[in-house]
Structures are given as C-alpha cells and as structure tokens.
Amino acid sequence: MAHPLHIATPLLPSATLSTACGRQVQLKMEALQPPGSFKIRGIGLACQTHAQAGKRRFVSSSGGNAGLAVAYAGQCLHIPVTVVVPQTTSSHAQALLKQYGADVIVHGSTWNEANALAQTLLGPQDAFIHPFDDPLLWAGHASMVDEVITTGFTPDAVVTAVGGGGLLCGVAQGLAQHDLGHVPIIAAETAGAASLALAMQTGAPAALDAITSIATSLGAKQVCARAFALSQQRPIISHVVKDADAVSACLRFLDEHRILVEPACGAALAAVYAGADLLAPFKQVLLIVCGGATCSLAQLQGWHATL
C-alpha cells in the first residue's frame, strides 16, 4: 500500500489527567491528524484501497469528521468527492468540506434523506465510504495501537469514545494484534447517544429511538454488529457521561493541553478526569484523544453556559 494519508501522532504523558484520576495516563493525540480526527486512519486506508481498485469518485453522507476525512483523502489522492448532507449541517461544516475541494449537496431535513440520495448517486466507478461499519476502517484505525506499542508503552486499560463503534473495533483489533486482547477497553458515550450501553444492557443489538446528545459525532442510533459482538467477546466497560461533563472536560483539556476537541472526545476525557474509581484497577491508562474539527470554542462556551 502507498504511503498512508494519516500521520503518526504523538503519545504524550499527561500530568494533569494522571493527577486527576491517580493513574499514569498517556494521551494518543489523534486530534492532531490533518483533518482533525482519527477518522483519516481508516477512511484514508479505505479510500486508497478503492482508488487502487479503480474507483473514480468517493461519496459520503457525513457532514461531520467522516465526511471531512473523505474530502481530505480525495484531495490527497486527486479523486473527486461528493458529500450529501442534510439541511441541519452547519455552514461551518459545509465550508470545511468545500475547503478540501468536495462537492457538497444539501438535501433533506434528516441524515436518512441525505444518505438515501447519496445511495442513488452511486455508479460502478464510485465508492461509498461508510463512517464506521467497514473492516477497512477498523484495520486503518488499528494502526494507532501499533504506534503506541512501538513506543514501548503497554497499557493495561484503554479509554475511548464510542459512536457507531468503528473506533472501538479498530482499537480492539490493534490490541489483539499485540496479544493484548485481555486489556479492558473503557467505552465512553454521552447520555442521549449511548447506543453501545443500550446494546450491552439489552444483551442484543438495539437501536436508540433518537439522538438527544450534543455530541453529534457519537450520534449513531445503533452500533455496528462487530462492536456489539466485541462487547460479548472481550472486556469492554461501558461508561456514560453527561453532555455537561463532556463539555467541561473539553474546556479543561483546552486549558491544560492547549488543544480544542469536540464533546464526542470530551466523553472520553470526562471519564478519565472523574476516573478515580473507574480506573482504580489499572496502572497505565491509554486515553485516545480522538479529536474532532466541527466545533468552535464559542460553541463549547455556549453549551457550558446553558447545560
């Protein structure tokens, strides 16, 4: 495979998060990826694979970080990208997509309508890039664990945010590749987007009626089948935080580490900031700072004031 589209990110010890939870916490700084989140790892690999197979256009229906990663990958590979988004997608997000050269089509009032149109656009030379339910994505995301292990740090717990579960599948795959399938993954979600928590409580794949969290990047009503299967096969600890705590964690992280992330990432940060009990059984904690490019400081402050 050609040179990857993602960068190798730093692994940083965090004195402040370590003090907050009383464990040794290392940050995997996926917020530093060029399009702003870890998603370029898996989506970059998927796009490179489709390009090699002769696809001539990438189509996405994500107005969030997945769409941004597809747009960035298309720009890197000189392949046109079409992103269909609903009217609810902010003009800021649309501008970011266009900045990477994507054609943005605004259609429908919900993601379902935008996605339905995107599906009708697909011809034989087009590749549709799913935001989380694709083994190519999981293989790409797994590379972040390879990088961590290469540094000599072996975590005894990993904390990560969960939306549709692609990141979770990738982290689990990466750990398994290094014989660390026994290392628990703490799966953080916000209340109102806690689709993995629902499936684990139900003991079967299950869908939320609606997404009511501000952490839109975690807003999958149902996790992918592989994520649920993993929760039945390997240690996964579900942890749900309030939106307000995710936002506060983002603001605190910005002060302490000078990096702005979305509330989706704030869910994982909040789990560690308040993690004295949750993390008590562990010594060396890997925290995936998954990032996210779709929210501004003003938005975080607005949520902080109103939640």
Q: How far is the CB of 73 from ligand PLP (least distance, A)?
A: 14
Q: Is 165 in the site for ligand PLP (CB under 6 A)?
A: yes
Q: Which is nearer to ligand PLP, 243 or 262 (CB)?
A: 262
Q: Which helix (H) or strand (E) holds 91?
A: helix 91-99
Q: Restricting to residues 4-43, which ones interact with ligand PLP according to CB under 6 A?
A: 37, 39
* Length of the chain, in residues: 307
Check: CB of residue 197 under 8 Å from CB of residue 240. Answer: yes
- Fill in the amino acid letter for 106: V
- Fill in the amino acid letter for 131: P
Contact window for ligand PLP (CB under 6 A) among 20-28, 43-51, 115-123, 161-169 = 161-169
Residue 50 half-sphere exposure, CB side, CA atoms within 13 Å? 29
Q: Which is nearer to ligand PLP, 76 or 161 (CB)?
A: 161
Q: How far is the CB of 115 from ligand PLP (least distance, A)?
A: 15
Q: Restricting to residues 96-155, which ones interact with ligand PLP according to CB under 6 A?
A: 132
Q: Is 174 in the site for ligand PLP (CB under 6 A)?
A: no
Check: CB of residue 46 under 8 Å from CB of residue 137. Answer: yes
* CB within 8 Å of 144: residues ≥ 6 apart: 9, 28, 30, 38, 41, 170, 171, 174, 288
Instruction: Determine which residue in the list 40, 118, 167, 171 makes contact with ligand PLP, applying CB under 6 A.
Output: 167
**What are phi and psi for residue 110, nearest 5 degrees?**
-130, 165
Q: Restricting to residues 246-305, which ones interact with ligand PLP according to CB under 6 A?
A: 262, 264-265, 290-292
By CB under 6 A, name the binding residues for ligand PLP. Answer: 37, 39, 65, 132, 161-168, 217-218, 220, 262, 264-265, 290-292
